[in-house]
A and B are shown apart, each in its own frame.
Chain A
């Protein structure tokens, strides 16, 4: 199997709140620092990507943030304009004028148009070999199937015309596991795990796009061995708490409470992790990213996650 960062196109998806954008940004950073010319493309236009790199706002036109790391935000209208001028040789913006005004409407009504313009743009960058790797901070897991199957859907709906002719090369790229893969970001909690399992199945049955890896984000550390845990429990007796409080020069109860909370959280999550492991193909890479106990969310956190990913990959 092709190593994750040796592919050409990675779609990073996951349930809301699991840290999908963090992982996408970190994968991009890691690839760039390995010397790959990398484009990170944000799809759902929340402007988060800028926060993860702290390098100013991103736009449709890709911008180099640091050597080998480029970033862009998807804009389907811009994508259409670019497509028209590149593919159909329609140079006059004047002719596109009325098209732009009505574009949103058509895109909302005609199924798959927005999706195909998104997929088409990133696949185009791969086809033209503008980058070694394109990382897409994609839509959430509920919508990714619709996006990935858009070329197929268009193929079925549109019998003739230029769009039809364009979908085949996209499908060739998307369905080649050596080039394209999906990365599902999950978290060791009930709903993210359930959604990950469901999405892995749907990718398999409804698309021909390869699932490249599952990244489990925010994995809490195991505090104790079994023996240490028994010892910890024994520390909670009143006379020991009293002795420790006297020796430490302050009430140790909150510290003990916090440790108990940490143990409980870890234990519940371990159950969800086991469910996830049991449901996925054992051959599928399962990558764990530890919970970050840091103040920052920005570039420093992205770098830290990239370092952790680098150890796991």
Chain B
């Protein structure tokens, strides 16, 4: 647990724990788990990686970024060929290439859903026979490999496991793309419900006593007609095997739920200023509030530059469109006047086009009902990030 020493003595800049963080730097200095969430395509993974890289550079300690489906480019940016379920250290050479000497260490891992499930089964199975039977069960294979919601639970489970190992000072988690952003918050509870439900007990009861059960008979009759008895038998076997692990799973799921609500955990909501992602971000902020979970920061990506909203420039752009020929004549030795006029009209029109979008985004931003203390806006720099320097450059935009 020596690695946790950083938390024992709060950095001077963060002040007392009651003082609220005003920057991402202050926020991350006081937390052990940061969960990055938001709808797909808003730069969630890159934001998580950038925040982790900044923390490793400036705060020190061991920092892990746990991602779900990283772009190959992100692995390359971290100086890694690829990374998998096992944590890999980002080499010093990657930092050196960026001209940085980090105070701490940066580690990266990717969530391999299937592998994590298999590990989990291995841990909870009471004996080898049960373990082998579960791993071979066709329903288990389907659930662990394909079942969409299993990603949500396993991501939180893996986070819990890594956190409780005490290896890292800070873990930044990139959440899986979900149909609904709050799915993964509810995943541990759902898992616990699943194992303690009456239905599970009923399904796993011997079929004779099932027939005796008056209330469930119609259900079984219908289910049998729809799904066929073999399939039901497969399900029953699967649940039967799983039941042996139920107490362990329930306990574990409860612990995972607790860690989400722990004061060492914070959530960073990532969005762009487009309507749909922002709507989802607001929904998520409300969901966090409802569950009394800590909303630490809002990161707004791809924000258009402020100069696009200047009303003084609107008139200039309009003049460029309307009086292009006249203005072209005023430019000293610009070559062909018709060409110049066309260019002036084009840039005037382009400015007005982008102004519409910039104003729309500003309105969207202003309409946010509830925002955390830390709100960071990242300008629209479309150059793709392909090294650690690029990641840290992005990190600079959100850090202070």
We find that the number of chain B residues with CB closer than 8 angstroms to chain A is 86
Complexed CA–CA distance, A44 and B275 (Å)? 17
Q: Which residues of B contact A164 (CB under 8 A)?
A: 228
- When A15-B40, A16-B177 are in contact, do A261 and B354 touch as well, CB less than 8 Å? yes
Q: Which residues of B contact A259 (CB under 8 A)?
A: 346-347, 350-351
Q: How far is the CB of B306 from chain A (nearest CB, A)?
A: 10
- Do the beta carbons of A44 and B138 come within 8 Å of each other? no
Closest to B313 in A: A254
- Do the beta carbons of B71 and A99 come within 8 Å of each other? no
Q: How far is the CB of B101 from chain A (nearest CB, A)?
A: 30
For the complex, is B342 an interface residue (Cβ under 8 Å from A)? yes
Closest to B348 in A: A255
For the complex, is A57 an interface residue (Cβ under 8 Å from B)? no
Complexed CA–CA distance, A248 and B323 (Å)? 9
Q: How far is the CB of B335 from chain A (nearest CB, A)?
A: 6
- Do the beta carbons of B382 and A231 come within 8 Å of each other? no
- Do the beta carbons of B147 and A255 come within 8 Å of each other? no
For the complex, is B384 an interface residue (Cβ under 8 Å from A)? yes
- Do the beta carbons of B316 and A153 come within 8 Å of each other? no
Q: How far is the CB of B76 from chain A (nearest CB, A)?
A: 12
Which of B235, B320, B351 contacts A109, CB < 8 Å? B235
Q: Which residues of B contact A192 (CB under 8 A)?
A: 41
- Do the beta carbons of A262 and B354 come within 8 Å of each other? yes
Q: How far is the CB of A101 from chain B (nearest CB, A)?
A: 9
- Do the beta carbons of B343 and A224 come within 8 Å of each other? yes
- Do the beta carbons of A249 and B315 come within 8 Å of each other? yes
For the complex, is B331 an interface residue (Cβ under 8 Å from A)? yes
- Do the beta carbons of B40 and A258 come within 8 Å of each other? no
- Do the beta carbons of A16 and B228 come within 8 Å of each other? no
- Do the beta carbons of A159 and B218 come within 8 Å of each other? no
Closest to B40 in A: A16
- Do the beta carbons of A250 and B316 come within 8 Å of each other? yes
Complexed CA–CA distance, A101 and B338 (Å)? 73
Closest to B145 in A: A111
For the complex, is A161 an interface residue (Cβ under 8 Å from B)? yes
Complexed CA–CA distance, A16 and B39 (Å)? 7
Question: Interface extent on A, as a size class?
Answer: 35 or more
Closest to B384 in A: A190
Q: How far is the CB of B153 from chain A (nearest CB, A)?
A: 11
- When A111-B147, A244-B331, A293-B353 are in contact, do A158 and B230 touch as well, CB less than 8 Å? yes
For the complex, is B234 an interface residue (Cβ under 8 Å from A)? yes
- When A105-B199, A190-B73, A295-B360 are in contact, do A248 and B230 touch as well, CB less than 8 Å? no
- Do the beta carbons of B351 and A255 come within 8 Å of each other? yes
- Do the beta carbons of B346 and A146 come within 8 Å of each other? no
Q: Which residues of B contact A98 (CB under 8 A)?
A: 215-216, 218-219
- Do the beta carbons of B316 and A102 come within 8 Å of each other? no
- Do the beta carbons of B179 and A160 come within 8 Å of each other? no
- Do the beta carbons of B40 and A140 come within 8 Å of each other? yes
Give per-residue flags for B330-362: 1 if the beta carbon is below 8 A from chain A beta carbons, else 0. 111011100110111011101101111101100
Which of A99, A111, A161, A255 contacts B228, CB < 8 Å? A161
- When A161-B228, A259-B350, A295-B356 are in contact, do A252 and B40 touch as well, CB less than 8 Å? no
Q: Which residues of A contact B366 (CB under 8 A)?
A: none
Residues of A86-129 whose CB lies within 8 A of B: 88, 90, 95-96, 98-99, 102, 105-106, 108-112
Complexed CA–CA distance, A84 and B225 (Å)? 10
Q: Which residues of A contact B308 (CB under 8 A)?
A: 254, 258
For the complex, is A269 an interface residue (Cβ under 8 Å from B)? yes
- Do the beta carbons of A243 and B332 come within 8 Å of each other? yes
- Do the beta carbons of A246 and B330 come within 8 Å of each other? yes
Residues of A221-268 whose CB lies within 8 A of B: 223-224, 227-228, 231-232, 234-235, 239-240, 243-244, 246-252, 254-259, 261-262, 264-265, 268
Q: How far is the CB of A290 from chain B (nearest CB, A)?
A: 11
Q: Which residues of B contact A228 (CB under 8 A)?
A: 339, 342-343, 346
Q: Which residues of A contact B248 (CB under 8 A)?
A: none
For the complex, is B383 an interface residue (Cβ under 8 Å from A)? yes
A sample of 28 inter-chain contacts (CB < 8 A) reads: A16-B40, A84-B222, A88-B226, A95-B222, A99-B218, A99-B223, A109-B239, A111-B142, A111-B146, A140-B177, A158-B230, A158-B231, A160-B229, A161-B227, A164-B228, A187-B41, A190-B71, A194-B71, A194-B72, A234-B335, A235-B334, A244-B330, A250-B316, A250-B319, A251-B312, A256-B347, A295-B360, A297-B275
Residues of A within 8 A of B (CB): 15-18, 21, 44-46, 48, 84, 88, 90, 95-96, 98-99, 102, 105-106, 108-112, 139-140, 142-143, 146, 153, 157-164, 187, 190-192, 194, 223-224, 227-228, 231-232, 234-235, 239-240, 243-244, 246-252, 254-259, 261-262, 264-265, 268-269, 293-295, 297
Q: Which 10 A-B pairs have the closest CB atoms?
A: A16-B40, A17-B41, A161-B228, A111-B142, A247-B330, A293-B353, A259-B347, A250-B316, A160-B228, A254-B307
